Structure 1
Amino acid sequence: MGMKLISAKEVTEKVLSNNALFILDVRNEDAFSDWKIEGKQVEHLNVPYFDLIDGVDEIVDKLPKNSEILVVCAKQGSSEMVGEHLVDAGFEDVFVLEGGMKTWSEYLNPVKIGDLKDGGSIYQFVRIGKGCLSYFIESNGEAIVVDSTRTIDAYIDFAKEKNVTIKHVLDTHLHADHISGGRLLQERTGATYYLPPKDAEEVQFSYEPLVEGKDISVGNTKVKAEPLYSPGHTIGSTSLVVDGQYLLTGDILFVESIGRPDLAGKAGDWADDLRNTLYDKYKQLSDELIVLPAHYGNASELGKNGQVHAKLGDLFEKNAGLNMDEKEFRRAVSENLPPQPNAYQEIRETNMGKITPNNDEQSEMEIGPNRCAIHG
C-alpha cells in the first residue's frame, strides 16, 4: 500500500474513537518527552530521525507487523524520509502526519456541547494537540467566541457554515500559554473584543471591559453571558455564566485540576484569591451548572466525542483541588508546580500587543503542552 499522508483531523478521529494507534515519533528525545500525541489507545516508539537516516533495520523488531504505523516529526519532512525506509523494509500500512506536530498543535476540532433554552447552541473547539478549549455560542444568527486561539479561520468558517455573524469575541483572562485570536477576529469580523480590565492594564490596544454586571447578549433571544469576577489564575480572571446552564471557567477550574496562580509571578498573592473564587464564589452557584474550562490536561478528560465538561456539583465531590484545607491548598498552588509554559512571557507580551511576532515565530512560541493547571 506504500506511504500515505494523513491529516491532523483524521488522526484526531482515530484518537477519539479509541482505535489502537502506533506512533513512531522521530523528534529528538527532549521534544518527545515534553509533548506528544496522546490518547487512550496510543502506543509510542521514540527514535530520533538521525538514528534512522540510513534505514530502519535496528528498530524493525520493535514495530507492529500487521497494523498501521503513524510516523510523526516536527514539520513532516523527516517523517516522510523515515516512512519511505519503512515501506522499503516491507511495512505496508505507513502513514505520515501532514504538517507534522506543528499542524497537530494548531488543529481545532469543533464538538457540540448542548442547546440553549431559547434556540441556538454552544460548541467547544478542542485544540487536541495543545489541550486548549475555546467556545462558539450561537443564537438567532449571532455568535460569541470565547478564548479564541490564533488560528481563527476555524471560527470564521464555522460561522459561515452555520450562517451566523460573530458579534462578540472575549478572553476570560490574559492568556500565558497560547496566543489569543481575539484581536485578529475583531479585525476580520468587526466583532467587539472584550477583556477583563484588571488583566488589561498594560495592553496596547482598545477593548471593551469584561466586567460583572455588564451582560453580553447574543441574538434577539437575549442569551445572556453573565461575567463573574473570579480572580486567582490571573488578577482579572472572569468566568461566564451562559444561558443559566453553562459555567465557562477560563483557567480557574478544570475537570481534573485547578488553575495555577503563578504565571505572573504572583503565586503567594493570588493563592487567596484563587481559594476564595473556588471555595466561596463557585460554591454559591448552582451544582447543576455545566463547567466548561479553557483547558484540559489529560486525554482521560475527553468524553466520547472529544468534549470536555462536568457538572459543578460533581467537581466539588471529585476534584482534589476543591477538597483541601487552607494549608494544603496554599502548598498545592505554590510548591512543586509543573514547569511554566514554553515562552510564556513572550506569549503574554504578544497578547498585550507589546510585541508582534510573525506567524512562524508565533507557532514556535506555542509548541509544547499547556501548563495552566497545578498538575498535569
Structure 2
Amino acid sequence: MAVQEMTVKEMAKKVLNNEELFLLDVRTEDDFNDWKIEGKNFEYLNIPYFELLDGVEEIMDQLPSDKEIVVACAKGGSSQMVAEMLNDEGVTNVYSLEGGMKAWSEHLEPIKVSDLNDGGELYQFVRIGKGCLSYMVTSNGEAAIIDSTRMIDAYTDFAEKLGVNITHVFDTHLHADHISGGRKIAEATGATYWLPPKDAGEVTFDYQPLEDGEKVTIGNTTIDINALYSPGHTIGSTSFVVDDQFLMSGDILFVDSIGRPDLAGKAEDWVMDLRETLYTRYKELSDELVVLPAHFMIMDEMNEDGTVAEKLGTLFEKNHGLNIDDQDEFRKMVTENLPPQPNAYQEIRETNMGKITPDNEKQREMEIGPNRCAVR
C-alpha cells in the first residue's frame, strides 16, 4: 500500500483552519524542541526515527484512531519509512509530510488583508513554518513587494494570477534571519529595488536608496508608500505607511513583542534607537494605523482569518515592550532577554549584501529553524 502524503499547503490550511491533527515528529528531541509545526489543535508525539528502526509496535497505543496522523521529519524520507511501517500495522489514517520540515519552512500562504483606496489591494504572504511575513500592494495594474523571501516564484506567480506588473520591491532593512528575494525579483521583473542606505554600506549591487520622507506611488496616485526612518533593529530600519491605513513595521514592532537590536553586534549601541523609534516616532503616528510586521513569533498572534495585524493604538495598550517607562529598565529588558541568534545569521547577512552566493541547497540549510527576530 502506497504511503499517503500530505503537502505543506494542505498542512498550512489545517493550521489556519484550526483543525485537529496528530503529529508524529521523528526528528531528534533537540530538533523537535527547537522548532516544530505549530497548530492550535494539534497533538504531538516525538520519537526519533532511529528508535523505530526495529518496528513501531511500542508506539501503537500512543496513536489515535479517530484523527489524521502526519509523520514529519527533516526532508520527507524518514517519515515515509515510518508511515509505511504504520501502514503495515494496519494504521490507515497516516500521512507522510511531503518534503518534511525543509518544505514546511518554505511554504508561503497569500492572504488578502484589505482593499485599498481606488481599487487597490493588500496581501500578506504568511510563511507559517518560519514566522516570516511579506506583502504585495497592488493598484491599477502595478504591484510592490515588501520584505520578500527567497522563494520569488510565489510572488511572480501570484502577480501574474492577479494580472499586475511588479514595479517596485522594498526591504525594510537588511535581513539577518532569512534570505531576501528582493534583488532577484527586481532582476526578474525590471522593478526598482529599494533598500535603506544606512543598511547598505557593504552591499555589492545597485539599489535605490529608501530614505525618510520618500514617497513611492504604486498605480493610482492615492496609494503612496511613505518611508519612515525607524532604526533600532538595524541602523537603517525603515517603516512604510501604505495608503494612510497600514504601518509596515518591519522587524521593529511585532504584535506580541518588539525587535531585537543585536544582530549586527550592536545591542548596547542600538537599544536607545529602538526606544526612540517605538516611544517617540511611532507614538506620533495615528492609533488607527494597522501594524503589519515582517515576522510573528507565536500562533496566538494570528487573527481568525490567518493574517497577523493589529491597530497601533491597541499595541500601545497591550504590548509589554511599548509600556516600560524607565529607560534603564527598557535597556535591561531588551539586552537581557535576547533569544539565541538566528541560524547562520552572519552568512545570511552576507548573502543579502551580495558578498556570497550560496547554492540553493545551502540557502535552505541556512534558514532552517525558528524565527528569532524578537526580544522575548
Query: TM-score, normalised on structure 1?
Result: 0.98
Q: Which amino acid aligns with 1:374?
A: V
Contact 1:173 1:199 in 2 (8 A): yes
Deviation at 1:345, TM superposition (A): 0.4
Partner of 1:373: 374
Query: Aligned with 2:172: secondary structure?
Result: coil
Contact 1:140 1:221 in 2 (8 A): no
Q: Which amino acid aligns with 1:269?
A: D
Question: Taking every aligned residue pair, what percent have the same amino acid on both sides?
Answer: 66
Contact 1:139 1:221 in 2 (8 A): no
Gaps of 5+ in 1: none
Deviation at 1:8, TM superposition (A): 0.6
Q: Which amino acid aligns with 1:314?
A: T
Partner of 1:53: 53
Partner of 2:207: 207
Contact 2:118 2:220 in 1 (8 A): no
Partner of 1:307: 307
Q: 1: CA distance between counterparts of 2:21 and 2:267? A: 39
Partner of 1:144: 144
Deviation at 1:2, TM superposition (A): 6.4
1:330 aligns with 2:331: yes
Contact 2:170 2:194 in 1 (8 A): yes
How do residues 275-286 of structure 1 correspond to structure 2 at under 5 angstroms? 275-286=275-286
Q: Which amino acid aligns with 1:359?
A: N
1:233 aligns with 2:233: yes
Partner of 2:345: 344
Q: Which amino acid aligns with 1:172?
A: T
Contact 1:2 1:92 in 2 (8 A): no
1:153 aligns with 2:168: no
Q: 1: CA distance between counterparts of 2:313 and 2:67? A: 43
Task: Note the alpha carbon deviations across 1:331-364, whole angstroms, 9 max, x for none.
Answer: 1110131111010000000000011000000000
Q: Which amino acid aligns with 1:259?
A: G
Deviation at 1:141, TM superposition (A): 0.1
Partner of 1:169: 169
Q: 2: CA distance between counterparts of 1:159 and 1:131? A: 22
Q: 2: CA distance between counterparts of 1:50 and 1:215? A: 56
Q: 2: CA distance between counterparts of 1:83 and 1:346? A: 36
Q: Which amino acid aligns with 1:129?
A: G
Q: 1: CA distance between counterparts of 2:131 and 2:36? A: 12
Partner of 2:264: 264
Deviation at 1:3, TM superposition (A): 3.2
Q: 1: CA distance between counterparts of 2:294 and 2:9? A: 21
Aligned alpha-carbon RMSD (Å): 0.9
Contact 2:20 2:67 in 1 (8 A): no
Q: Which amino acid aligns with 1:327?
A: D
Deviation at 1:136, TM superposition (A): 0.2
Partner of 1:245: 245
How do residues 280-299 of structure 1 correspond to structure 2 at under 5 angstroms? 280-299=280-299
Q: 2: CA distance between counterparts of 1:2 and 1:311? A: 48
Q: 2: CA distance between counterparts of 1:204 and 1:33? A: 38
Q: 2: CA distance between counterparts of 1:281 and 1:251? A: 15
Deviation at 1:254, TM superposition (A): 0.1
Q: Which amino acid aligns with 1:111?
A: I
Query: Aligned with 2:144: secondary structure?
Result: strand
Contact 2:245 2:289 in 1 (8 A): yes
Q: Which amino acid aligns with 2:357?
A: T
Deviation at 1:47, TM superposition (A): 0.6
Partner of 2:132: 132
Q: 2: CA distance between counterparts of 1:211 and 1:184? A: 22
1:183 aligns with 2:183: yes
Partner of 2:116: 116
Q: Which amino acid aligns with 1:338?
A: P
Deviation at 1:221, TM superposition (A): 3.4
Q: Which amino acid aligns with 1:285?
A: L
Q: Which amino acid aligns with 1:347?
A: I
Deviation at 1:135, TM superposition (A): 0.3
Q: Which runs of 4+ in 1 moved over 4 A?
A: none
Q: Which amino acid aligns with 1:137?
A: V
Deviation at 1:43, TM superposition (A): 1.3
Task: Note the alpha carbon deviations across 1:225-274, whole angstroms, 9 max, x for none.
Answer: 00000000000000000000000000000000000001101000101000
1:363 aligns with 2:364: yes
Q: 2: CA distance between counterparts of 1:34 and 1:25? A: 12
Q: 2: CA distance between counterparts of 1:2 and 1:353? A: 44
Q: 2: CA distance between counterparts of 1:178 and 1:245? A: 27
Bigger shift: 136-145 or 64-73?
64-73
Contact 1:239 1:248 in 2 (8 A): yes
Query: Aligned with 1:135: secondary structure?
Result: strand
Deviation at 1:115, TM superposition (A): 1.1
Partner of 1:65: 65
Q: 2: CA distance between counterparts of 1:216 and 1:155? A: 20
Deviation at 1:180, TM superposition (A): 0.1
Q: Which amino acid aligns with 2:71?
A: V
Query: Aligned with 1:233: secondary structure?
Result: coil
Partner of 2:100: 100
Aligned residue pairs, count: 375
Gaps of 5+ in 2: none
